[in-house]
Amino acid sequence: MAKTRTVYRCTDCGAEFPKWAGRCESCSAWNTLVEEVVAPTTTSKRTAARAAGGVAGRTVTLGSVTSSDTPRWRTGLDEFDFVLGGGIVPGSMVLVGGEPGIGKSTLLLQVAARLEAAGQATLYVSGEESALQVRLRAERLAEDASAVSLLTETSLETILATAAQPTGDGRPVRALIVDSIQTVHTELLEGAPGNVGQVRECAARLMRFAKDSGTTVFVIGHVTKGGGIAGPKTLEHIVDTVLYFEGDSTLDHRVLRATKNRFGSVDEIGVFRMVSTGLIPVDNPSALFVGDRREVASGSAVCALMEGTRPVLVEVQALAAKAGFGTPQRVANGIDARRLALLLAVLDKRGGFSCAQLDVFCNVVGGMRVQEPSVDLAVVAALASSVVDKPLPSHAVFLGELGLGGEVRPVSQAERRLAEAAKLGMTTAFMSDRAIPRRVPGDITVIGVRTLVDVLQRTVGKDAS
C-alpha cells in the first residue's frame, strides 16, 4: 500500500509547496499555507494512455451545439430571485457564504420549502445539525417545509448516491442543498473534513454532479476572520455563483450580495428582514437605509449607490469631535478606512476644514458596505457639516467622486440614481456639472458643481480656514 504524503497548499492561489513558509512564493500572500495530506491515486488504463501519448477527444462545432430554453425556477422570494439574475438556473452550483448565525441555513431552508411546493423535489443535507434541530427550525418558518427530504450525512459518496436516487414519491431530485461544505468529506482523500484538499475535491465532485445530472446544487460555506469564504480560493472559481449573506446580528435586516454570477449581473444585492417566521424580502431597500429625513442633525448626508443594476439610497453619518487623547481617532464603518483618510486630507488641503485635532467617526447607516467612489461627495459634505455643526439640506442627495485636486468627478448612470432619489422625496441633487442628464426625472433640482469648494459654499457656507 502506497504511503500518503504531506504538502502545504496556499489557500489563496492553490500553489503547492513541500514545506511550510510564512509567505507564498506564487502570490506573495502571508500566512496562507496550510498542511494537506495527499493520498496516492490509482492509475487507470485511460489515465496511463493519456500520460503516455494522449487520447484524442471528440470535438464538435459551435454551430451544431443546440441550446435548450430551460426556464429558470422562481422561488417567490423576490430578492433572492433578483440576486440570482431572475431565478434558479437548473444544473448550476451556488455557493452561499456568511458569518455564523447570519441566517444562511434559514434562507436555504425557505428556498427548499418553496421549491418543494412548486413541484421540484429537494434534498436538504445537514452535516452540522441533527434531524430534530432542522425540524425545529422548519417549524418556525412561514413556509411549510414538511415535504422536504432531509439527510443528515457528511460522507460525499453517500450524499451523491442519495441525490441520484428518486425520492419516496418517485420524483428525481432537482435541487440539492449541502449545509455545509466544510463538514463534508470524501473517502478518496486523507485528512479531516474542512481542510483544503477535502473542500476542493468535494466541491469539484458536487459541481460535476450538477452538470451531469442537471440538479441545482446549493452549498453553504463558512467565512474566515477576514470575511472570505473558508477553504481554498479555487472554491469560488469552481462554482457558478457566489453569494455573500451580510449584516449585523444586532439588526433585523440582512443583505444578500452576488460577487460572482455566470448567469446574471455581479454586485446585485437583495435585502431581507429577519423576523420570527424567517426572512422576508424588503421591496424598497432605499427606504430602509435612509429612513425619516424630517429632522436631520449635522453630519448627515444621502448618497445614491449603484448595487449591480439597482440604485440604492444610503445615509452617511459623520461625527467630528474634540480628541480626548493625544492621537485623534479615525473610525470608519461601512467604507474603507484608507478612503476616509484620503478624503480627510482632501477636505483639509482643498476645502480648508482641518480635522487634525479632532476624532472622526464615519458610518454608513444600516450596516451597508460601500465600495464605489460615488459616496465621496456625501462623506466630505457630512464631515464639513459636523465640523461647523450645521445640518445639510434634509432632502438633498450628493453624487460625485472626489479627486485629489478637489475636483468633483461624474458618476455613472446618473439618471437612474436621480430617479431613485426623486422616488423617495429628494428635491435637490449636488453633482458634477459635467454629468447633468438631459432629462432630470421627477421634480428634483440638480445643482452642478465643479470643485469641493463649490459644494461647501452652497451647503455649509464658505470654507472654515
DSSP 392-437: PPTTEEE--EE-TTSBEEP-SSHHHHHHHHHHTT--EEEEETTS--
Q: List the one residue out of 333, 318, 332, 465 whose CA is nearest residue 380.
A: 318
In the predicted model, is pLDDT for residue 52 greater than 80?
Answer: no
- State whether 292 and 273 are in the same domain: no
- State whether 357 and 412 are in the same domain: yes
269 is in an annotated binding site: no
The whole-number pLDDT of residue 66 equals 74
Pairwise CA distance, residues 132 & 125, whole Å: 13
- State whether 325 and 397 are in the same domain: yes
In the predicted model, is pLDDT for residue 315 greater than 90?
Answer: yes
**What pTM value is reported for the model?**
0.79
In the predicted model, is pLDDT for residue 227 greater than 90?
Answer: no
Please state, in angstroms and as integers, the Cα–Cα distance from residue 49 to each residue in 39, 41, 59, 208, 218, following that order.
Answer: 22, 15, 19, 23, 36
Is 412 part of a structural domain of the chain? yes
- State whether 304 and 377 are in the same domain: yes
- State whether 303 and 342 are in the same domain: yes
Instruction: Give the number of other Cβ atoms within 10 Å of residue 288's Cβ.
Output: 19
Is 465 part of a structural domain of the chain? no
Overall average pLDDT of the 121-137 stretch: 94
In the predicted model, is pLDDT for residue 129 greater than 60?
Answer: yes
Overall average pLDDT of the 2-23 stretch: 79
Quick: pLDDT tens for 316-369: 999 999 987 778 999 999 999 999 999 999 999 999 898 888 999 999 988 888
Pairing outcome for strands 216-222 and 269-275: unpaired
139 is in an annotated binding site: no
Query: Where residue 260 sits, what CATH number does that domain have?
Result: 3.40.50.300
- State whether 321 and 246 are in the same domain: no
Pairwise CA distance, residues 295 & 314, whole Å: 16
Query: Where residue 380 sits, what CATH number does that domain have?
Result: 3.30.230.10
Pairwise CA distance, residues 6 & 17, whole Å: 10
- State whether 334 and 274 are in the same domain: no
- State whether 25 and 90 are in the same domain: no
Domain count within the chain = 3
In the predicted model, is pLDDT for residue 300 greater than 60?
Answer: yes
Q: List the one residue out of 264, 204, 243, 229 whose CA is nearest residue 96.
A: 243
In the predicted model, is pLDDT for residue 465 greater than 60?
Answer: no
100 is in an annotated binding site: yes
Is 178 part of a structural domain of the chain? yes
- State whether 363 and 405 are in the same domain: yes
b/e sequence 172-207, b meaning 16+ C-beta within 10 Å: ebbbbbbbbbbbbbbeebbbebbbbbbbbbbbebbb
The whole-number pLDDT of residue 446 equals 93
- State whether 295 and 258 are in the same domain: no
Is 58 part of a structural domain of the chain? no
54 is in an annotated binding site: no
Q: Are 197 and 189 in contact (CB under 8 A)?
A: yes
Is 56 part of a structural domain of the chain? no
Contacts of 161 (CB under 8 A, 6+ apart): none
Using alpha carbons only, what angle is made at residue 66 by residues 63 and 72, rounded to the nearest 5 degrees?
A: 135
The whole-number pLDDT of residue 1 equals 47
What range does the domain containing 221 cover? 73-283
The whole-number pLDDT of residue 50 equals 52
211 is in an annotated binding site: no
Amino acid at 189: L
Q: List the one residue out of 230, 199, 269, 244 whose CA is nearest residue 98.
A: 244
Is 59 part of a structural domain of the chain? no
Q: Strand, coil or helix: what is 444?
A: coil
Is 53 part of a structural domain of the chain? no
Please state, in angstroms and as integers, the Cα–Cα distance from residue 450 to each residue in 154, 382, 431, following that order.
Answer: 60, 18, 8
- State whether 257 and 304 are in the same domain: no
Pairwise CA distance, residues 420 & 303, whole Å: 11
Q: List the one residue out of 264, 300, 306, 265 whose CA is nearest residue 285.
A: 306
Overall average pLDDT of the 235-256 stretch: 86
Is 357 part of a structural domain of the chain? yes
103 is in an annotated binding site: yes
C-alpha cell at 264: 446574471
Last residue of a domain, one of 264, 283, 302: 283
- State whether 116 and 192 are in the same domain: yes
Provide the mean pLDDT of the chain. 87
104 is in an annotated binding site: yes
In the predicted model, is pLDDT for residue 229 greater than 80?
Answer: no
In the predicted model, is pLDDT for residue 261 greater than 90?
Answer: yes
280 is in an annotated binding site: no
Last residue of a domain, one of 234, 267, 283: 283
Last residue of a domain, one of 267, 283, 299: 283
